[in-house]
Amino acid sequence: MTDTPRVPLKLAEPALGVRTHCPYCAFQCGILMGEDLGGGLPRVTGDPHFPVNNGQLCIKGWTSGALLGHPQRVTCPQLRDPGGTWRDATWAEAFDFVAAKMAALRERYGPDANGVFGSGALTNEKAYLLGKFARVALGTANIDYNGRFCMSSAAAAQTRAFGIDRGLPFPVADVERAEVVMLVGANTADTLPPMMQWFDRQKAAGGRLVVADPRRTATARRADLFLQLTPGTDLALANGLLYVALEERLTDERYIAERTTGFDAVRRAVLQYHPAHVERLTGVPESQLRRAARWLATARSAMVLSGRGTEQHSKGVDSVHAWINLVLALGKVGAPNSGFGTLTGQGNGQGGREHGQKADQLPGYRLIEVDAHRAAVANVWGVEPASLPRKGKSATELLNALGSEVRGLFVMGSNVAVAAPHAERVEQGLKALDLLVVCDAFHNETSAHAHVFLPVFQWAEEDGTMTNLEGRVIRRRVVSRPPTGPLSDLEILREIADRLGCGAKFAFRDTEAVFDELRRATAGAPADYSGITYAKIDAADGVCWPCPTEDHPGTPLMFTERFHHADGRARFFAVDHRTAGEEPDAEFPLFFTTGRYKEHYNSGAQTRQVAKLHAAQPVPRLEMHPRLARRHRVVTGSRVTVESRRARVEFAAEVTADIRADTLFAPFHWGGRAAANLLTSGHLDPTSRMPEFKLTAVRIAGVRHGS
């Protein structure tokens, strides 16, 4: 990292305390941005009046202003010359080039030759317009986004069980009032740090916290009961807990009869999961299983919250549904301060998956394969329903098709070269494209292979809405004036669409006009935003969907009386533990799993630019148990080469008793030869198409000491 002088920062409203939201995770902490404190940086503090974070921020939030005016920011459109180097271009030249190449690819290979890859970091307006751009301006079915790597398994399971998917169907403040909370595969202390205040309050009020994870994380160290399970056995653990509840007559039979359907099949399935058998599968002692089941079942209020550790598997949907089965059987879903929820990861991971940038979805969680849904959206867009493409390729399958079926890729807000599994194959696909366009503020590992780079506004430089993990729609406000040069993503989509012959359908006067069309496109849909307005959001610190009319208050708490299926009942679904797409064996005997550091975010494209965050965590470290370390003569600081069936990666070792002796862990925030996702596989969940990030079979291929 360098200390190059920064571009002077100009605040749109220099008065202290402009209210907006952090650019990072789905907690979407309220922040106040004030005057420049020197060095071109704004003053960033937590907003004490926003009810989600109550003024708290993590280190990423505190340093978020460092990205504004950053010296490495790209401010001019760039085209790759025939020799492979970047050259500056005018916006008109860049737009003309992109549109002409897209049109030529469509003419030669068909509309699906153009692919679009979006992001869970985009505002609702951008996600909505990107989906419209793909289907109306390009006519391609091949649009997906990096939320497929994050939330897709939980979304599919919740939709299957409840008829609708909202990460938390209750306010985060309910955590404080739950007698028992169980976190499965979620390390909130590092991934959603300000959320820990609610767990701290819960424990201070006499509540109990249970954590299930292969690592004794910072979150697990605060638990009253820690279940250190084998990677990939979350489903078996949930079934084992339900077995105990059945055996000890702890299920809520009245609730099951009145509010659910399908329990008999689940009852038969889980009777195969005696705790002794589950102990052999998971490594969790039977005594701990029974204690966890009793705590959850006998508490007046209890909730289970899942994270990526449970979901990022080739059986992720079934694993999440196993936990839903447990919570339904205990009668907790829809009860006060109780229920099941999943902890959304990306800043707009919730809204990003609702409004059409996923291959099978249209705005409002409408489905692109349902004719009535197609007709409703086509009517708003002013096109014939038959003109809309059908379902396209999921994210991993889209990336696997680069250079063959997909010849051009338009990327907005995602660093696929780092974030996707089997990263080496993805990089080869990027190199094989006829056209790769990247829209971002900084160059990254994906743009290293691009033909066009289009510089965009950053989070504090444009207006829009985000939807946090509670389903709360909030406002991101203009705080900082962008430097001369970049454009907003919405302007970029409009200009390219205009050159493709449909500019009139993208000619919005401002961001609010885009949101107003989104409202109309979601009217009557599962994720109904039609009653939400910018003014309403401003007056109430956000509005939780569904909100079908402007006089409706929004829906912070769901499922109190009925579920979203036509009969109002939740669905049990019998699921069985099965092996992963790739299990350890004699050749590759160890589990490898990935995760995050609290100092970095996703692919690290933003946070690795921030000097304070880079200094705190400059490199990825490989966690290894002392027993395994002794076997390979590894000490903290040793350079350890980890090998999977796809690649080798060398990490600096960190020897710790906090991880299982059969498991290795590394964060995935780095690219190049330090990319953890070089090792991961392309095995996908059959329903959600989620990649299996959390379980890879590896071996230690080499150890060297010294730098």
Would you state the pLDDT for residue 275?
97
Average pLDDT, integer, range 28-56? 86
Residue 292 tokens, joined = 């966890």
Model confidence pLDDT, tens digit, residues 583-641: 999 999 999 999 999 999 888 888 999 999 999 999 999 999 999 999 999 999 999 99
Would you state the pLDDT for residue 42?
79
Would you state the pLDDT for residue 346?
87
Is the fold of 161-342 the same as that of 590-704?
no
List of residues 6+ apart from 32 with CB closer than 8 A:
16, 17, 18, 19, 44, 45, 46, 47
- What does the alpha-carbon distance between residue 73 and residue 452 come to, in Å, rounded to a whole number? 16
Model confidence pLDDT, tens digit, residues 211-230: 999 999 999 999 999 999 99
Q: Which helix (H) or strand (E) holds 189?
A: helix 188-191
- Asked if residues 139 and 676 have their Cβ atoms less than 8 Å apart, the reply is no
- What does the alpha-carbon distance between residue 688 and residue 353 come to, in Å, rounded to a whole number? 12
Question: Could you tell me the residue ranges of all domains in the chain?
Answer: 78-149+357-521, 161-342, 590-704
Q: What is the DSSP secondary-structure string of 235-247?
A: HHHHHHHHHHHHH
pLDDT(264) > 80: yes
Residue percentage of the chain with pLDDT more than 70? 97
Would you state the pLDDT for residue 3?
36
Verdict on whether the full-model pTM lies above 0.85:
yes
- Asked if residues 339 and 306 have their Cβ atoms less than 8 Å apart, the reply is no
Nearest one of 264, 236, 324, 347 to 602, comparing CA atoms: 347
Would you state the pLDDT for residue 416?
96
Residue 314 tokens, joined = 């080739």
List of residues 6+ apart from 328 with CB closer than 8 A:
161, 255, 256, 260, 263, 340, 570, 572
Model confidence pLDDT, tens digit, residues 539-585: 999 999 999 999 999 999 999 999 999 999 999 999 999 999 999 99
Residue 155 tokens, joined = 């979304």
pLDDT(4) > 90: no
Q: Which helix (H) or strand (E) holds 327?
A: helix 316-329
Single-letter amino acid code for the residue at 261: T
pLDDT(13) > 80: no
By the 10 Å C-beta count (0-12 exposed, 13-18 middle, 19+ buried), 579 is classed as: exposed
State phi, psi for 632 to the nearest 5 degrees: -105, 10
Place of tokens 């202003």: 65
Single-letter amino acid code for the residue at 367: L
CATH for 78-149+357-521 is 3.40.50.740
- What does the alpha-carbon distance between residue 670 and residue 135 come to, in Å, rounded to a whole number? 33
Give buried/exposed letters for 188-209 (b at 16+ CB in 10 A, else e): bbbbbbbbbbbbeebbeeebbb
Nearest one of 352, 356, 365 to 388, comparing CA atoms: 356
Residue 654 tokens, joined = 């960190």
pLDDT category at 95 given cuts 50, 70, 90 is very high
- What does the alpha-carbon distance between residue 159 and residue 341 come to, in Å, rounded to a whole number? 12
State phi, psi for 476 to the nearest 5 degrees: -100, 125
Residue 214 tokens, joined = 């292969």
The domain defined by 590-704 folds into Barwin-like endoglucanases (2.40.40)
pLDDT category at 14 given cuts 50, 70, 90 is very low
Would you state the pLDDT for residue 11?
54
- Asked if residues 396 and 682 have their Cβ atoms less than 8 Å apart, the reply is yes
Choose which CATH entry (3.60.130.10, 3.40.50.11140, 3.30.420.40, 3.40.228.10) describes domain 161-342.
3.40.228.10
Would you state the pLDDT for residue 2?
35
Average pLDDT, integer, range 241-250? 98
